Amino acid sequence: MNSALTLDFAPLVPWPLLLACGAIALVLTMLGLWRHARGTLLRALVAVLAIGTLANPVARKEERSTLPDIAVVVVDESPSQGIADRQRQVEQAEAVLREKLGAIENLELRVVRAGKPAAETADRDEGTRLFTALTLALSDLPRHRLAGSILVTDGQVHDMPAEIAAAQDVTGAPVHVLLTGRPDERDRRLVVRNAPTFGMVNQDLNVTLRVDDTGAAPNEMAELRFRQQDVGERVLQVPIGRDVTVPFRLSRADRSLLEFEVPPIPGELTPLNNRVALSVNGVRDRLRVLLVTGEVHAGERVWRNLLKADPNVDLVHFTILRPPDKQDGTPIRELSLIAFPIRELFEIKLNEFDLIIFDRYRRRGILPTAYYENIARYVQRGGAFLEVSGPAYATPLSIYRTPVSEVLPGRPNGTMRTEPFTPQLSAIGKRHPVTAGLPGSVGENGQPTWSRWFRVINVDLTRGTPVMESPNREPLLVLDRVEKGRVAQFYSDHIWLWSRGYEGGGPQAELLRRLAHWLMKEPDLEEEALRADAKGGRLEVERRSLTERKEPVTVIRPDGSETRLMLEELGDGIARGRLPVEMPGIYRVRDGERETVATMGAINPREFADPRATPAILKPLADASHGSIGWLREGMPDIRMVEKPTRSAVREQAGRGWIGLYRQNDFVVTGLTLTPLALPLAVLTALLLAMLLMWRRESR
């Protein structure tokens, strides 16, 4: 508490009138002096007394209460501060600052923590937003009380304004930076120069990247490991400091994760940025499907309508209307039939098709044996084949008596049953993604609510997984993997009854959609799969399996630490588990047989793009505010309170071993006393005496 005495005025007339009177008096006085008139000075004295009286001077005495200055300390808690011993440096620096600033009289301390990624903003990869936190802390703080700001950080700040003048307008006081880390840090890191976000399936794509190493020797090479989801790993030798192009192909439609990694080197700052991951969406061109119908039947149009309804399907459909054994004497020139281009389809362009469907096809001498061999090789090399068996499959005309039998799972035993029955899911079918949870698969009595079928061809399974069967356990739908390809086989041709709504119908469209996606190797329809997704501060793991499994999965965090996670069985072959996570980066999940990855936040966070401590980013701000930058490893500086300089006497607010904060000397007025200086009686007496002297002078 202190007081201050100042001179103030409380004019009895408006200031403009008072100034006008003063101007007139000045003009008359100058005129009188120019003409050497008697009594000019006495008249001027009378005018001054009169104007001074009207100005009413008062003595202003204020009782003032001093307000404390405010120092803001911003502590960087970004993930890069966890590297090496930076966290220890931060904790020690904060403790010392609290002690030193707390010991300064009339100084208030505010500590702001910034840089720690929040779960709701992790996906945006905003990096370290230290300046945003400082601006927010100063938003409700009076600028005339700000003593200065001290930033404890590694210098990697990603929200500095482009214009330093704009930053200085926000602070208005010295900004001092205390850097964690060391100025001689070495780090090897991967930098992605160019990468696609999507690409066509089975077409060549490229990723351009570079290995940076601040301490590498000239022409030094690095080992680059390239892992592609569901494909495998490649090892490349690449030069350091030069762009390298890595080609790859997407084998499936959907998101694929590409991982690139270089091994750590001795003395490296952190291995976290030695690995980058890219998410590339595979886009499949129009799906080319070849549908061959062996004979005209009621269910033929079901397949055609289903495939034609999808705009992404390019369908080639042939129906055998006039097989070679049909001879009725009609001249060929009078037939309006399109010739079956067997050589073009099954020899020249066979590998261009994504899916081949044989619907009730039988041996009729149309396809040579070599073309059946082509179909078998097509499947073994990665193709998809769907066979819908009709009555001919149980006869000597069965295509099982061709080389296609190498890829078919069911061997006909020569019999078939033609009694009504309701299809149902097998034990495995209740867990297989193609059939699990099909609408109507479980009714009120536990049985399917689907309509009945009336024919099943009896087979002996040599391999494959039966997912649908009759009540007598006769296979109806069998799925099989043959080397790189996939095969599905229906042992009844009555699924078309579902599409016609017979007895309420059944989920024909949904079943065939899932079946086609499984044949095309869509990831969502994999029967043995492990998936993980990190978002909202949680890692969600899902395992799909045809068998119930009790063992936990292993979660490997971005820093290399591991934890075990138990999954809960939810039915339909799905088990799920959740794990709280905070660290951004790549999480790897393993269950002993499969491995998958998930990314928390950005796949390649800016925070670790270059984690070396640096003064370069914040130095312009420190210089513009007359602050300083120092390394904590060199010791904590002393803190001094200095007077705020004027514009004409700007000086640095830091020196060797010390930093300065402004002493703002702000206050609030708690009491006010006004004492008039022009006493009415005294002024009136003075005026009368002055007028008397003026009259006496002029009367001589």
Residues paired with residue 206 on neighbouring β-strands, in sequence order: 247
Q: Which residues of 57-94 are buried (b: 16+ CB within 10 A; e: fewer)?
A: bbebeeebeebebbbbbbbbbbbbbebbebeebbeebb
How do residues 211-238 score in pLDDT, each as one tens digit? 988 778 888 899 999 988 777 789 999 9
Tell me how far apart the alpha carbons of residues 693 and 19 are, in angstroms, rounded to a whole number: 26
Mean pLDDT throughout 451-474? 94
Backbone angles phi, psi at 89, to 5 degrees: -60, -40
Q: Is the pLDDT of residue 650 over 60?
A: no
Q: What is the predicted pLDDT for the residue at 469?
A: 95
Tell me how far apart the alpha carbons of residues 610 and 592 are, in angstroms, rounded to a whole number: 34
Percentage of the chain modeled with pLDDT above 70: 86
Structure tokens, 625:
């505010």
Q: What is the predicted pLDDT for the residue at 688?
A: 67
Q: What is the predicted pLDDT for the residue at 336?
A: 47
Q: What is the predicted pLDDT for the residue at 342?
A: 84
Tell me how far apart the alpha carbons of residues 456 and 466 are, in angstroms, rounded to a whole number: 14
Q: Report the half-sphere exposure of 620 (CA within 13 A, side-chain side).
A: 12
Pick the range with the lowest mean pLDDT from 39-43, 120-124, 137-141: 120-124
Question: For residue 157, which of 129, 117, 125, 123 has the smallest C-alpha distance?
Answer: 129
Q: What is the predicted pLDDT for the residue at 649?
A: 47
CB-based contact 648:203 (threshold 8 Å): no
Pick the range with the lowest mean pLDDT from 32-46, 157-171, 489-503: 157-171
Residues 6 or more apart in contact with residue 135 via CB below 8 angstroms: 170
How do residues 168-181 score in pLDDT, each as one tens digit? 555 678 889 999 98
How do residues 124-133 score in pLDDT, each as one tens digit? 566 777 877 8
Q: Is the pLDDT of residue 240 over 60?
A: yes
Q: What is the predicted pLDDT for the residue at 699?
A: 60
Q: Is the pLDDT of residue 252 over 80?
A: no
Percentage of the chain modeled with pLDDT above 90: 27
Pick the range with the lowest mean pLDDT from 154-168, 357-371, 615-629: 154-168
**How high is the mean pLDDT of the chain?**
83
Tell me how far apart the alpha carbons of residues 19 and 6 are, in angstroms, rounded to a whole number: 22
Q: What is the predicted pLDDT for the residue at 695?
A: 65
Tell me how far apart the alpha carbons of residues 503 and 21 are, in angstroms, rounded to a whole number: 112
Look at 105 and 423; give whichever has higher pLDDT.
423
Of 8-22, 28-42, 423-437, 439-453, which one has max mean pLDDT? 423-437
Q: Is the pLDDT of residue 413 over 90?
A: yes
Number of CB atoms found within 10 A of residue 568's CB: 9
Structure tokens, 654:
């830091």
Question: For residue 148, which of 611, 500, 562, 664 has the smallest C-alpha distance?
Answer: 664
How do residues 592-628 score in pLDDT, each as one tens digit? 888 888 877 666 677 777 888 888 888 888 888 888 8
279: left (phi over 0), alpha (psi -120 to 50) or beta: beta
Per-residue H/E/C for 178-207: EECCCCCCCCEEEEEEECCCEEECCCEEEE
